[in-house]
Structure 1
Amino acid sequence: MNINTQKLTNIPKLFGESWTNKQALLKKKSLKLLQNLIKRGTMYKT
């Protein structure tokens, strides 16, 4: 987990502002998907 997060934090520095803008849009979409997965995950756990 730590290795992946370190790689992700280095990416915006390489790509610059254009990447961060794209990342922000992807985060908005991925948050909705993550919320759905979490809801499903909690359903399976309980």
Structure 2
Amino acid sequence: MSDDGKRTEQQRKAYKRAAALRENLKRRKAADTDKDNDKSESKENEHK
């Protein structure tokens, strides 16, 4: 059972890291497209 607990903890850490990376990418993309706000907004609408 302890192995499972460690595994889930590792998975949780990996997921957190992945989420942080994704958030970082989002912010960087937003900063890059901040100049072309209209374009970024239309792209966001397409994704949704």
TM-score bracket, shorter-length normalisation: 0.3 to 0.5
Largest Rg, 1 or 2? 2
Q: TM-score, normalised by structure 2?
A: 0.42
